[in-house]
Structure 1
Amino acid sequence: MKKLLYIGWIGFNNLGDELLWNIFKNTCRKYFKDDEIEITPSVPSVDLKNLDKFDIVVLGGGSLLLPGYLQVLQNALHKGKSVIIWGTGLDWIGKENLDLLLEDKLLSLEQNFKQKDIEVLEEVIEKALFIGVRGPLTKKAIEIMLGNEKSKKVQLIGDPGLLLEGHFQGRRGEKEKVIGINWGTTFNRLYGGNEKLVEKQIVKTAKKLIAKGYKIMIYTVWPSDIPSCERLYKSINNPENVEIDKNRYTEQELIEKLSKCRATINFKLHANLLSLAAGVPAIALGYRFKVFDYAASLGLEHLVVSADSLNLTQELLERVEIIENTGETILKQYQSKKTNYIPLLESIFTSDTL
């Protein structure tokens, strides 16, 4: 029996990270018998410095391409363990560098990766069995750090959240005019550095949507987001037309809940994929690099509104209009990309990689 360590941000009740672990675990069960592989998730009690009992270490979905986790992978390689990178990505790249990257003008990522970190990344990529990253911006950033030749092994395989199974409720035109809003906190670590201002703009957006005949459903994907959602609900101050749902759902329960919406506006990254899995086009608040990376992987960059936008309310309202006019096209785009990514995401299970 092979013993595998799955590294993710697990055990903190964040639905996005938990669903990525569930997807990995369930896909393993789909392709392997119980006596073939034993998986340990990296819950807080697991010591990432003691890898002796594992044969394979998998850096899973999320935004985990960070120096600390790369060091864990390097240590695993030095102990003779097999290493796999599966659907993870970069984050924490500043807005100025993101804009330069999008314009193919970024020359260095020294703000995020020092030379010693780049050397660790280079060794991990050279020796890992498989390197599959979430989005094209992550891939491009790695190429900037290592050069094209040393980055050849890096594959774009999409976010593992694309393996979520959908739940579709009725035709788009038959749905109530409900807009789901996922709000929360990132403790002010967002583009523009002003979470309160973004919240005020979302309140303004919600009020304008209500005036257009929409109802609002506020929902969370992380318990720490509840106070922010409660504040948003009180600020909109329209209980007749606004519902706040503070329940902690599984991914499948939330997909079913979201399936009644016409569109969603989402702060947290995986709320967008949960919405799309429900057959509901999603507007992403581009609060950090990872959101732009996700959107670029699906060709849905036009549905991202940057958190530092000076016209955030107007841009959100414009995206709702785009969804009302082209919602079916957006969902077809998502399904097409998903169809392309699924074999890539499942390739570590269907080949001899694991």
Structure 2
Amino acid sequence: MNIRRHIIYLGWQGFQNFGDDLLYATWKVALGTPLRIQAPLTRRDYAAAAPRFFSQRVRTLSGERLVLLGGGTTVGFASWGAHARNAMTYYDAHALVVAGAGAASSDDTFALGLQRTDWAQWGALPNVALFGVRGPLTSEECQRHWRPAPVIGDPALLYTRYAMPLPTPAARPVVGVCLGASPVSRFSVEVVADAIRIYLAAHPGTTVRVVQLSPEDAGAAHNLVKALGNGTSAEIVAYSGDVHGMMQAIAGCSLLLSERLHGTVAGVACGIPTVPLAYASKCDDFWLSVSGERPALGVTANSHLIADELEKATEPGRIFSVASRTTALQDRLESAAEQLRRWHAGQQPAVGLGRYTERAEA
């Protein structure tokens, strides 16, 4: 008998945040499915979406179901543990799939000041198909608090393997800049603007593209253009829900400086020399995965250090090293996607996906 199989997507997409939407778009193209079944995030959301939820629940009753955790910094957090448990319970899912998600480091006072961790809750989740996590810092946290987890990279690295951006060739070199973090940017607009001016002085004819990846970043984007001054050719490209369009805007840059994590991920995925402005451990986690080093720029970095890192990013050795590690991570992510495609097509059982066995983890 041919049993229908359903993937329930668990993420934070649809709120005009490029990073969350990029993860969702990546899984859609990588798995070859529209991922129409999207789990609500709270009991209140389940109540608000009751007609849609019950319709989806009835349609999936006769098949097998997996809940796919889209990615992001979710593992270990109490809120996301509850979201995962609710989705598995309400959809009666056979397993929770974790492939490329991240965790906050135990010493990340910024991230842990925004959300509470509850590793015991994650340990109590039954039937987790754990393919791997975003980076080495997450792997360490999982080893310490949960279970062993290999590094396979951020899922959004796969986007360009399936939907390669085709940027319009720029008449002049373009340095892209992204300032923003939730709830607000942690970097000084004036310091970043001064660093860009230093770089532009050494590279005449270069223009500036400010990429605004969330509505929260609008103030920082406009203040940056203002701080650069009228003598600088600068434009703002704001994300409006078109993931591919924003990927094209990023791919059209010659160099990218990004505070937003998925601005950095997108730049790396597009093969653009990229410099992260690290404001939380998730930035370190990703950059370690693609470079083997922690980011050089923390929130106290001065303009000259930022300008120096922009120069170093275009060195052939740095470009080759990041590209090589990125390709290896993309291969690992592709292996996970292939297993999920095979499961979805009825060619592979759920047991055996990632590190999933049919037992609850205590």
**Same-fold call, TM > 0.5?**
yes
Amino acid at match of 2:103: L
Q: Which protein, 1 or 2, shows the higher relative CO under an 8 Å CA cutoff with sep ≥ 6?
A: 2
Which one of 272, 295, 303 corresponds to residue 313 of structure 1? Answer: 303
Q: Distance in 1 between matches of 2:224 and 2:123?
A: 44
Tell me, yes or no, if the aligned pair for 2:191 and 2:303 is still in contact at 8 Å: yes
Across the two proteins, how many residue pairs are aligned to each other?
A: 321
Which one of 313, 326, 331 corresponds to residue 339 of structure 1? Answer: 331
Amino acid at match of 2:342: T
1:209 is displaced (CA, Å) by 1.6
Which one of 50, 56, 68 corresponds to residue 58 of structure 1? Answer: 68
Amino acid at match of 2:174: V
Distance 1:273 1:118, change over 3 A: closer
| Post-superposition CA distance 1:254-284 (Å, at most 9, x none) | 2322333221000111111222233211111
Which one of 4, 8, 11 corresponds to residue 8 of structure 1? Answer: 11
Amino acid at match of 2:235: E
Distance 1:345 1:333, change over 3 A: same
Q: Distance in 2 between matches of 1:168 and 1:302?
A: 30
Q: How does 1:1-354 map to 2 (within 5 A)?
A: 1-29=4-32, 39-40=37-38, 42=40, 46-47=45-46, 53=57, 55-65=65-75, 66-76=77-87, 80-82=92-94, 83-91=96-104, 93-95=106-108, 117-124=118-125, 127-146=127-146, 151-152=147-148, 154-165=149-160, 166-167=164-165, 176-188=172-184, 195=186, 198-212=188-202, 213=204, 214-246=206-238, 248=240, 250-299=242-291, 301=293, 303-307=295-299, 309=300, 311-326=301-316, 328-329=319-320, 330-351=322-343, 352=348, 353=350
Q: Distance in 2 between matches of 1:17 and 1:333?
A: 23
Tell me, yes or no, if the aligned pair for 1:182 and 1:220 is still in contact at 8 Å: yes
1:232 is displaced (CA, Å) by 0.9
Amino acid at match of 1:321: E
Return 257-266 or 236-245, whichever deviates more.
236-245
Amino acid at match of 2:142: I
Amino acid at match of 1:7: L
1:317 is displaced (CA, Å) by 1.4
> Cα RMSD between the aligned structures?
3.5
Tell me, yes or no, if the aligned pair for 1:179 and 1:261 is still in contact at 8 Å: yes
Structure 2 portions without partners, runs of 5+: 354-362
Amino acid at match of 2:227: S
Alignment correspondent of 1:106: none
Tell me, yes or no, if the aligned pair for 1:167 and 1:277 is still in contact at 8 Å: no
Q: Distance in 1 between matches of 2:116 and 2:279?
A: 21
Q: Distance in 2 between matches of 1:276 and 1:328?
A: 10
TM-score with structure 1 length normalisation? 0.77
1:23 is displaced (CA, Å) by 1.8
TM-score with structure 2 length normalisation? 0.76
| Post-superposition CA distance 1:20-70 (Å, at most 9, x none) | 11222233326xxx8xx8633548885289887263322211112221221
| Post-superposition CA distance 1:216-249 (Å, at most 9, x none) | 2111111221121011111111354222223536
1:302 is displaced (CA, Å) by 5.3
Tell me, yes or no, if the aligned pair for 1:157 and 1:345 is still in contact at 8 Å: no
Q: Distance in 1 between matches of 2:109 and 2:240?
A: 36
Identity %: 19
Structure 1 portions without partners, runs of 5+: 99-108
Return 4-13 or 233-242, whichever deviates more.
233-242
Return 57-66 or 72-81, whichever deviates more.
72-81
Amino acid at match of 1:176: R
Tell me, yes or no, if the aligned pair for 1:93 and 1:112 is still in contact at 8 Å: no
Q: Distance in 2 between matches of 1:38 and 1:252?
A: 19
SS in 2 for 1:158: coil
1:158 is displaced (CA, Å) by 1.5
Tell me, yes or no, if the aligned pair for 2:10 and 2:84 is still in contact at 8 Å: no
Tell me, yes or no, if the aligned pair for 1:177 and 1:215 is still in contact at 8 Å: yes
